[in-house]
Amino acid sequence: MKKTRVDRKFAELQRQGKKGFIAYLSAGDPNLADTVDIVLRLEDAGVDLVELGLPFSDPLADGRVNQEAATRALEAGSTFDGVMECIAKIRERSEIPMIFYAYMNPLLAHGFDQAMAVSAQAGIDGFLLLDLPFEEAGPYRHALAANHLNAIQLVTPTTPDERIDKIVKRASGFVYCVSREGVTGVQDKLAEGAGALVQRIKSRTGCPVALGFGIGTPEQARGAAHLSDAVVVGSAIVNSFHNNPHTAEGRAAAAAFVGEMVKAVKEV
C-alpha cells in the first residue's frame, strides 16, 4: 500500500525525535462549514493529525461530551455526503493527515466499499472502526487496502497478549492504545497501567502507538507523551470549541487551549 499522509507524518516525527498530537472533533459540530474552519485552526495550533468523528446516532464507545457533539452534528443536518464535501473543502486548503473515527452502521448503510472509495477520494487517510471486532474484519480490510486507507487498530487494557499479537499485525498508520476501561471523556489523571499497556503493544509492533481516552490538560498530555509516540485528545477539545462563542475570537481562544496541550507534548 502506498504511504498515506498519516504514514508520512509519523515518519517525519520519528526523524525529528518528536511526539505527535492527534485532535478529535465531531464532523458537523456545530455545522459542516465551521468544521472546515476548526480543522484549519487546529493545524495552525500545531496539531499533527485530525481524527474526525463520523456523526452517528448511537456512538457506544463515547461518553457524554462526544455523544452530544454527534447529536449536535446530526441536528445541524450533517449527512455522509455532506461530511465528504467538508473533507474535500479542507483538502483544498490543507494536507493535514485526517482519519475517520467511525461506527459500522453508517458505512454499511452507505455500502461499505463505496464508503471507502468516496472517503479516499474526498481526502481521508484512514479509518478507526470502533465497533468492528477483529475477528469479523477480514472482508472489510480489503476495501480499506484497495483504497490505500490506513486501518487504525484499537487495543484496550482488557485485551489479552495473544489478541494484541493478532490485532497489531493488521494495523497500519498507528495503533490506538485506549488508556483505560470505559468510554471517552476527560479524567482527573492518566490511568494507572497506561504505560505498561503501551509497552506491551510496542514490544509487538513497529507501528507508532498513540495513547488516548481521558486526556484533557497540558500536564496529562505531557505525561502521556512520555509513554507513547503520540497523544490523542478528544472531549477536552470538543468542549473547548463548544463552550467558547462561535465567533472568530471564540475559535481563537479554543485553538489557543489546544496549542497549550500541543506545546506540552512537543516539549517531551
Q: Which residues are catalytic?
A: 51, 62
- The owner of cell 485485551 is 159
Q: What is the DSSP string of the chain?
A: -PPPHHHHHHHHHHHHT--EEEEEEETTSS-HHHHHHHHHHHHHTT-SEEEEE---S--TT--HHHHHHHHHHHHTT--HHHHHHHHHHHHTT----EEEEE-HHHHHHH-HHHHHHHHHHHT--EEEETT--GGG-HHHHHHHHHTT-EEEEEE-TT--HHHHHHHHHT--S-EEEE-SSS-S---SSPPTTHHHHHHHHHTT-SS-EEEESS--SHHHHHHHHHHSSEEEE-HHHHHHHHHS-SSHHHHHHHHHHHHHHHHHHHT-
Q: Contact, 53 vs 265, CB < 8 A?
A: no
Q: How far apart are CA 21 and CA 9, in angstroms?
A: 11
Q: Contact, 223 vs 187, CB < 8 A?
A: no
Closest CA to 171 of 234, 129, 232, 131: 129
Cell of 31: 455545522
